[in-house]
Structure 1
Amino acid sequence: MAKPIEIAQVTYAAPDLKLMEKFMTDFGLSCVSNKDNVLYMRGSGEQHHIHVTHYAEKQRFIGASIEVSSQEDLIELAKLEGSSVMQPSRELGGGYEVVMTMPDGFEIKAIWGREKHTKATERSAFEFNNADHKPRLNECIRVKRQPCQAIKLGHFVLHVSNHDASVKWLEERFDLLHSDYFVPPGEDGPIIGTFLRFNHGAEKVDHHAILILQSDWVGVHHCSFEVIDLDAVMTAHDYLVDKGYQLECGVGRHMLGSQIFDYWKDPFGFRVEHYTDGDMLDHHAQPVKFNGTATETTQWGMAPGLEFFQ
């Protein structure tokens, strides 16, 4: 079983790479390369790229890549039924990959050895002066409405035709833990959604790296990028409003995971999220079942409409 380190990237296809580049730049990513019919975008963190778009006449979600801890992990994954051999990566940044396919056809790559960038985050998070603790002294916050830096790809969410089979497929390949569950509103079961986090033992990890949701419709629900703090979320929100992009839901705070969120649609209809202040868990955290309604998934702020979950 491979030890996952980080969600490295999500991969899409779209008919206009320049249009995608413009949106993702306004969303806070930077272009690594846009040639040979492939667009590579990076965040301000170390990953060589975190969002990839291949040119195609019709837009679609292709899959995601997960960085693993060692070349030995790739060798073990390559032995599993349906896996490719371990091979040099076909993408910029080099390294090695094993290509796998989930039951619904999503391409999942395990990667190792890819080049890293030097971190390029422009500022540290602002200290927050709350009623009990006021660490910011003789410093003022002065922010502009502008693109915030997307630091890393935090998670992605998939609608699948068979929840249990998809979760089992992922667990057979990667060392994962369950963080929380969705069950139908007002009921105790069955489980129709599972938040999965990486198992790093006593080390803190994000509440989830992957969310699997049972659905009549198969596809990606959204991908999500972490930003430095609340001011980054809010100033980017206003900037994207001014640019005329399509807001779907935000700003608000999730119930499960606690993230402050802001959801937008890219020019091809794919959801993308900015988030900050999510829960951090270790291996001691135990999952709970959430059986509330769609609006109850938001603690405060703009609640999602019913179509958000369809």
Structure 2
Amino acid sequence: MQLTSPQPARHPNPTTRATGLAYLIFERPSLIEAAEFLTDFGLRFVSRRKNLVFFRGTEASPFCYVVRRGGRARFAGLGLRVETVAELKALQNVAGASRAEPCSWPGGGWRVHLTDPSGFQVDVIQGQDAVEEINHRPILPVNAPADVHRINKTQRAPLCAPEVIKLGHVVLELANFQATCAWYTQHFGFIPSDVQVLPDGSPAAVFMRLDLGDKPADHHTLALAQGIAPAYSHSAYELVDADAVGMGERVLREHRREHAWGIGRHILGSQIFDYWNDPWGDKHEHYCDGDLFTADVPMGVHEASREAMSQWGQVMPASFTRPKLGLSTVAAVVRGLRESPDLSVAKLRALHKVFG
């Protein structure tokens, strides 16, 4: 399978090399409903400031999830970390960027606001203070036929919401795939780990990791998928082990939350996963046991299909990628066909054939 489009590809001299996905921002009409779901899901309340609520995992980041009161539910943007002041200053020269300003959110630091070619808000933060890690339960010992760790002991995972350790990745759909992918590789040094392609060789989705050199990085921190319009697909949150993923499913079902897909194991990234919809239908993923790559591993190219999304478990349901029906969807298709060089009637047919 050949990739015919110029993106995804590494940039030889990126403006910066992002070191982490700092946070996601969502607007919600009800902060209470949002907090109830996120608590059931396993995130921890940090603080509330007027119309903002902050949540965190157990790692040393002061927060990873922001809920802002808004008239309608929507994904508002993401935050990336850079290491140096020089990198933050360099980003001020990107078209449409703000000047660096102090960040008043937990952890402080300095921040530059940007907008990617698909219209997503991207905050870049530097100098944020770490906080003390929260102890989470250890990995439960597993007995294998030739590797026994438990004798005269039982296996009992705690019956409670799973402990989210960190925000792992975010997946965005977009009409302008080439320009948006190039923007992230050029300005933040993202490395394409794997790309899934349509029968004509054009990219359907790319999974990109941080360039941390010899330090292993998650298989993907940002994934971009060809779609009909800019849209949030899902975000993913790491748990300690498969028992935590399974307990998360039990707790969320008992709280009558809406299940989206899982449990299974992905092919690209290898994570054991389970997806849940929040009260506004936005997908949130529990995962554990993901792949880690250093910067020298080359990109893989794979045929796109629903079957290619998991090794075992339920095949990805067609509903997982189906856009919401309505006049706004029709308008988005028309606008995308008119304005995006990456979208065509043939591309829409191919996406529908592959993903249903």
Q: Report the TM range for the smaller structure's normalisation.
A: over 0.9
Match for residue 161 of structure 1?
Answer: 175
CA contact (8 A) 1:4 1:68 kept: yes
1:27 corresponds, among 32, 41, 45, to 41
* Pair 1:220 & 2:232 matched: yes
* Pair 1:59 & 2:73 matched: yes
Deviations 1:38-87 (A, max 9, x none): 11111111111111011011011111001111222111111222111111
2:112 corresponds, among 88, 98, 114, to 98
- Residues of 1 paired with 2:297 and 2:216: CA distance? 10
2:29 corresponds, among 15, 34, 42, to 15
- Residues of 2 paired with 1:306 and 1:123: CA distance? 36
1:112 corresponds, among 122, 126, 130, to 126
Change (3 A) 1:69 1:264: same
- Greater mean deviation of Cα atoms: 262-271 or 278-287: 278-287
Match for residue 308 of structure 2?
Answer: 296
- Residues of 2 paired with 1:204 and 1:52: CA distance? 27
**One-letter amino acid of the counterpart of residue 168, structure 2:** G
- Residues of 2 paired with 1:193 and 1:296: CA distance? 12
CA positional deviation for 1:136: 4.6
**One-letter amino acid of the counterpart of residue 196, structure 2:** F
CA contact (8 A) 2:197 2:303 kept: yes
CA contact (8 A) 2:83 2:127 kept: no
SS in 1 for 2:39: helix
- Residues of 2 paired with 1:172 and 1:90: CA distance? 28
CA positional deviation for 1:295: 2.8
- Residues of 2 paired with 1:164 and 1:261: CA distance? 28
**One-letter amino acid of the counterpart of residue 165, structure 2:** I
**One-letter amino acid of the counterpart of residue 207, structure 1:** H
CA contact (8 A) 1:181 1:193 kept: yes
**One-letter amino acid of the counterpart of residue 147, structure 1:** A
**Unmatched segments (≥5 aa) in structure 2:** 1-14, 323-356
* Pair 1:262 & 2:274 matched: yes
Larger Rg: 2
1:47 corresponds, among 61, 77, 99, to 61
Match for residue 141 of structure 2?
Answer: 127
- Greater mean deviation of Cα atoms: 66-75 or 119-128: 119-128
- Residues of 2 paired with 1:227 and 1:74: CA distance? 31
Match for residue 72 of structure 1?
Answer: 86
Q: List structure 1 runs of 4+ shifted beyond 6 angstroms.
A: none
Q: Percent identity?
A: 31
**One-letter amino acid of the counterpart of residue 109, structure 1:** D
CA positional deviation for 1:131: 3.4
- Greater mean deviation of Cα atoms: 272-281 or 130-139: 130-139
Change (3 A) 1:56 1:272: same
Change (3 A) 1:146 1:76: same
SS in 2 for 1:98: strand
- Greater mean deviation of Cα atoms: 85-94 or 205-214: 85-94
Match for residue 277 of structure 1?
Answer: 289
**One-letter amino acid of the counterpart of residue 67, structure 2:** T
- Residues of 2 paired with 1:155 and 1:162: CA distance? 20
Match for residue 196 of structure 1?
Answer: 208
CA positional deviation for 1:133: 3.1
- Greater mean deviation of Cα atoms: 203-212 or 300-309: 300-309
Match for residue 309 of structure 1?
Answer: 321
- Residues of 2 paired with 1:282 and 1:118: CA distance? 27
SS in 1 for 2:228: coil
- Residues of 2 paired with 1:203 and 1:142: CA distance? 34
**Higher percent of residues as helix:** 2
CA positional deviation for 1:104: 1.6
Match for residue 211 of structure 1?
Answer: 223
- Residues of 1 paired with 2:258 and 2:295: CA distance? 38
CA contact (8 A) 1:295 1:305 kept: no
Deviations 1:155-198 (A, max 9, x none): 000001111111111112112211000112xx261112111101
- Residues of 1 paired with 2:60 and 2:153: CA distance? 29
CA contact (8 A) 2:159 2:247 kept: yes
CA contact (8 A) 1:208 1:257 kept: yes
Change (3 A) 1:134 1:70: farther
SS in 2 for 1:122: coil
Change (3 A) 1:192 1:137: same
SS in 2 for 1:299: coil
CA positional deviation for 1:138: 5.6
Match for residue 176 of structure 1?
Answer: 190
- Residues of 1 paired with 2:144 and 2:291: CA distance? 19
